[in-house]
Amino acid sequence: MIEWLVRLGANSLQGLETFGRSGLFFWRLLRQLPSALREPGLVVHQLYNLGVLSVIIILVSGLFVGMVLGLQGYNTLVDFGAEGSLGSLVGLSLVRELGPVMSALLFAGRAGSALTAEVGLMKATDQLSALEMMAVDPFPRVLMPRWLAGFIAMPLLTAIFSAVGIIGGYMIGVTLLGVDTGSYWTNLSSSVDFYDDLLNGVIKSVVFGAVVCWVALFQGYDCVPTAEGVGRATTRTVVIASLAVLGFDFLLTALMYGEVG
């Protein structure tokens, strides 16, 4: 029993210490923002790696999620004779919730894991130490451009996901199941509000992008510099980033749409 308590205490302390280190890491990262902005070429290069190379998975996933929404939504709405509202259902679901969350989860799996593996391997092969020995701070040169690229790419990927999802819903709802085209688009445009829905969706995706890249970069930078250490850090990135996205989603949704009393 005592041994169990000691282990619990030690693990809790270690967890708190890691959390504190990640906080300091994030602070040091943010302070390099001006330096990274002076080297836009590095950010653009990472935008390609993190953003452009994630487009395929976002496109395919967005299309299927939209098609499933169209199918499920139609089956539910048709019972009430409200299949004309399918556009509202698909649009609101995607723009408010599924677009930001699904894109962030996919981004964590594809780009987040790649970030951790890349930075972890740079650490394991002494490349980060070599930069330090050349008097080059790896934060503005290596880490910040990657974080900034993720921060910029995430809302763009979310927009693509939602747009393709809406087309997927249209393909199933209108083309296959016979919902009126006019109803689909009219209901969609009248129910999706710019500030309440689109802007909140963008805010969510920006927060998710920042969190996923923070977790991914910290895990890579903080990993044990061995093959096993990098592997474990990559797994931790996907798990922690995914859970963080879902946690922040609830928090942001409560702040944006929650009504008290």
Partner 1 sequence: MGPSGSGKTTLLKLLSGQLRPTKGSIRIDGKEITAMNRQALYQLRRSMGMLFQSGALLTDLDVFENVAYPVREHTNLSPSMVRSLVLMKLQAVGLRGARELMTSELSGGMARRVALARAIALDPSLIFYDEPFTGQDPISMGILMRLIQSLNRTLKLTSLLVSHDIDEACRIAHYAYVIADGEVIGRGTPVALRESSEPRLQQFLRGEPDGPVQFHYPAVDYADDLLGSKL
Q: Are 197 and 95 in contact (CB under 8 A)?
A: yes
Helices 200-222, 99-107: crossing angle, 10 deg rounding: 20
Q: Closest separation between CB of residue 8 and partner 1, Å?
A: 28
Q: Closest separation between CB of residue 220 and partner 1, Å?
A: 15
Binding region for partner 1 (CB under 8 A)? 125-127, 129-137
| Residue 231 three-state SS | helix
Contacts made by residues 178-185, CB under 8 angstroms, sequence distance 24+:
179/74, 179/83, 179/84, 179/86, 180/84, 183/84, 183/85, 183/86, 183/87, 184/84, 184/86, 184/87, 185/87
Nearest to partner 1 of 100, 145 (CB atom): 145
Among candidate residues 209, 170, 176, 161, the one with its CA nearest the CA of residue 69: 170
Nearest to partner 1 of 97, 137 (CB atom): 137
Q: Closest separation between CB of residue 121 and partner 1, Å?
A: 8
Nearest to partner 1 of 135, 260 (CB atom): 135
Nearest to partner 1 of 127, 186 (CB atom): 127
- DSSP symbols for 112-163: IHHHHHHHHHHHHTTHHHHHHHTT--HIIIIIHHHHHHHHHHHHHHHHHHHH
Alpha-carbon distance of 19 to 193, in angstroms, equals 38
Nearest to partner 1 of 7, 21 (CB atom): 21
Alpha-carbon distance of 103 to 60, in angstroms, equals 11
Nearest to partner 1 of 5, 133 (CB atom): 133
Q: Closest separation between CB of residue 38 and partner 1, Å?
A: 13
Q: Closest separation between CB of residue 181 and partner 1, Å?
A: 49
Encoded tokens for 95: 């723009």
Residue type, 75: N
Nearest to partner 1 of 105, 119 (CB atom): 119
Alpha-carbon distance of 211 to 108, in angstroms, equals 10
Q: Closest separation between CB of residue 117 and partner 1, Å?
A: 13
Q: Closest separation between CB of residue 119 and partner 1, Å?
A: 12
